[in-house]
Structure 1
Amino acid sequence: MSNTSGVITALPAPEGYIVDFENPQRRDVVETYVVVGIGMFLALLFLLQRLYVKVVIRKKFGLDDVLLLFGWVMLFSAANPDAEAALEGYVGVHGWEIPIEKFKDFTFWNSYINPIVYAIPPGACKMVILLFFLELNNNAKWFKWSVYITMFVVVGSSLSILFSSIFPCNPIPSAYDLVTDGECIDRVATFKATAAFGVITDVMIICIPVPMVLSLHISTRKKVGLLALFGIGSVTVITSVVRLYLLITILADADQTWGGIFINIWVSIEASLLVMCACLSTLRLFFHTVSPKLFSSGAGTTGKSGGVSGNGLRTIGGTGGGISAGHRSQYNRFDTSRDEPEYDMDTFNVQIKGEPRERDVERAQMKDSGGTWNDPDSSSERAIVQTTETHIYISKA
């Protein structure tokens, strides 16, 4: 500790530096407000669209949604002190221009509380993505085992980091109280391990769906699109790598209050991206519902030859656009939901001449005046999609 002009500080000022406790030199304060505000707002929008899809459209609220809500609340709880720390002036300020009372706030909130709060939420958001992978109904053993192993690594690393953050010292107060003596683990190594496990689990999650996408019987363009969709998650890898680099460089410096604000900024970016990536699986159905025109380009349009383009499915005498059901089902695991319509249905007016026999009348289905089949289960999408062949019995007059 040092005494500067009667004020006790944690660090001595460099020789020749003019200390100003009233107006200390600051850095990245506005940037912190902007990043935290915009990031958490966007994360909230993504979260709301997911909840709308799961609760209103699908009417299914599951474990993954509980984990995501928990993750968002905890990440918001971790990001809010980052902005408050910049406001109160105990980050983004040199250690020799912070009175010892504010420096104690820094060691308590930034060095002790924030790592505890931030230990579990990233793992919760990653579990949401892994649970989505299990819903893809891929029966390949390698796929399921890859998901389960990644889940084990995510949960195990999160719990390890949590307990090492809660009990870093003996006694515990010596972790944040400068005047309490005690024995502590290497806390810098713990922070680095947190970022390193974040990078490892992010890479594992990104790699899981790649072999399955490459094996799909779809065009190369669609494969690239799907890989790009899953590759969006690589953004969190970048933020984790940046945070790891900052931890290695900044924590080696004694003036941690000065560089610590930059770590807080990247933690806020990573937290917001984790929530948004966990909400991507419902994004297509959300826009399909609120703005169906975005997904209606070419689907169900009729050309000059009377055929139907896109995924149009003919109800008489057709095979539904020439794409086999096997190929379609593999692709729709990624691109559609059981709650959203998959095909545009076109019904053709067909007139059959001649008098049918009585037994043929019993087999045939009558058409009403609106041009649709008068079948009690005509609205069943499953029955229509499963129909692969239509037999029409005609007897000559």
Structure 2
Amino acid sequence: MYLFPRQDAPPTLAPPGVTPNYTNPDSIGPRILVACPLLGALALIFLVFRVTIKTRVLGMWGMDDTFIVIATCFAIARVAFNILIVAKYMTGRHTWDIPPEELVHIGNGGKNGLFIGDMIYFWGIMFTKLSILTLYRNVFKVHRRFRFLVYVMMALVVSYCLIFFFITAFDCNPVAKNWHLIGWSGGGTCVDMIKINYAAGGINIFTDTAILVMPLPLIVRLHLDKVRKIGLLAIFATGLFVVACSVIRQIVIVKTFKDFDQNRSVVGQIIWLTAELCVGIVCASMPSLAPLYTRRIVHNMVPESWRSYFSRSKGSTGISKRPSSNRSTEFGSQLLDSRSNIELVEDVQATVKGNATQKVF
């Protein structure tokens, strides 16, 4: 994710017939100034709703909430760096519209701002995914195989995010070349960051998809009425937006690396990386916001005739159909005791908790 090609070639020259414009250059940098603050504000709004509901409505706080607060802090920090590189380092201009006497300063400053923003991104996306996986662990904790899979995914997420964080920070030897690439004359070598970014994008799309589909088989097997089950699936299916952002972001990155006027073409990449992080925070908060909308959707927006029809399939047992298990019996009793007034997400917790000690959601 660079302002200029990694090769030791001179910065991109103006195409034939194009005269550099140093006084009133065209720039698409304002797209960053509009899109990124809006995305950051969206993530922050959902965080405020989540914190309010978890502390004042449900009276519960868990590690998943702590993780998402940390992720949001990184998202806001990334938005701040995005604004900085536009306001101070002319990101969004054509490379040939940067005055030659400022090229080294602007090039290195903007590039380093991108580096820092990318490193912030890895921390933010790591804590976002850890928040979702921690939620999975808490809600479906009686399933040992699923819990083991959650821990495997946690280890994978932490590992790849930290690895790519350190590669981004120390990809040149000597390290100083990484932070003074434009105009560097001290020799040295650098990692091929194009391949590294392709690898990071591929792993990221894989983990996003895996996290999306992991709970679906368990949700389908829940003995809830159809309306509640569909509502629950819809909440978790919001993760599709994160997967879509990851795929689009990777496509944009591929196009960016093919364009030598990266000071301008990198704008789309910056926006989509920020979108992926902020949309991930929003989607991670959706299950916690269920008390805001599940009752209204199920009881007010769904016609009475539909609710009557769907309620015929209401179950009275948990996920497991084996009657010999005490855990199954307790699943059913918990579900029946809370069926009348409980919210959608609380239904799932009551169904899957079993004999486990009640834990913060």
Shift of 1:337: 2.8
User: Which runs of at least 4 in structure 1 moved beyond 6 Å after TM superposition?
Assistant: 330-334
The one of 277, 280, 300 aligned to 1:274: 280
Structure 2 gap ranges (5+):
1-9, 319-331, 352-361
Contact persistence 1:285–1:337 (CA under 8 A):
no
1:326 lines up with 2:317 in the alignment: yes
Report the more deviating stretch, 33-42 or 150-159. 33-42
Unaligned stretches of 5+ residues in structure 1: 1-8, 302-308, 313-320, 343-397
Residues 144-174 of structure 1 show CA distances to partners (whole Å, capped at 9, x for unaligned) of: 1221221111111111111111211111121
> Hey, what does 1:257 align to over in structure 2?
263
Cα distance change of structure 1 residues 297 and 185 upon mapping to structure 2, 3 Å threshold:
same
Separation of aligned partners in 2, 1:47 and 1:235: 18
Name 2:139's counterpart in structure 1.
136
Give the secondary structure class of the aligned counterpart of 2:122: coil
Aligned length: 315
Answer whether contact 1:82 1:264 (CA < 8 A) is retained: yes
Kindly indicate whether the alpha-carbon contact (under 8 Å) linking 1:196 and 1:240 is maintained by their aligned counterparts in 2: no
Give CA deviations for 1:340-380 in whole Å, capped at 9, x if unaligned: 999xxxxxxxxxxxxxxxxxxxxxxxxxxxxxxxxxxxxxx
Q: Within 1, Cα distance between the matches of 2:218 and 2:159?
A: 26
Which residue does the alignment assign to 2:124? 121
Question: Which structure: larger Rg?
Answer: 1
Of the candidates 240, 245, 252, which is equivalent to residue 251 of structure 2?
A: 245
Does residue 105 (structure 1) correspond to residue 106 (structure 2)? The answer is no
- Residues of 1 paired with 2:65 and 2:47: CA distance? 9
Change (3 A) 1:169 1:322: closer
1:25 to 1:324, Cα distance in 2 relative to 1, 3 A: closer
Alpha-carbon offset, residue 129 of structure 1: 0.7
Deviations 1:60-117 (A, max 9, x none): 333222221111111111122223323335221111111312122122111x222211
Matches of 2:195 and 2:291, distance apart in 1: 43
Q: How far did 1:125 drift? A: 0.5
Q: Deviations over 1:219-253 (max 9, x none)?
A: 55544333222111111111111111111121122
Aligned to 1:15: 16
1:168 alignment partner in structure 2: 171
Identity among equivalent positions (%) equals 23
Aligned residue identity for 1:41: A
TM-score by structure 2 length? 0.77
Q: Does 1:210 align with 2:216?
A: yes
Q: CA RMSD in A?
A: 3.4
Partner of 2:356: none
- Residues 214 and 322 of structure 1: is their aligned pair in 2 closer, same or farther, counting only changes over 3 Å? closer
**What is residue 201 of structure 1 aligned with on the other side?**
207
Q: Which amino acid aligns with 2:71?
A: G
Residue deviations 1:163-221 (CA, integer Å, cap 9, x gap)? 11121111112113121432211112222222222211101101111111222234555
The structure carrying a bigger helix percent of its residues is: 2
Query: Partner residue of 2:80?
Result: 80
Deviation of 1:141 after TM superposition, in Å, equals 2.8
Pair 335,24 (structure 1): closer, same or farther in 2 beyond 3 Å: same
Gap change, CA 1:145 and 1:102, over 3 Å in 2: same
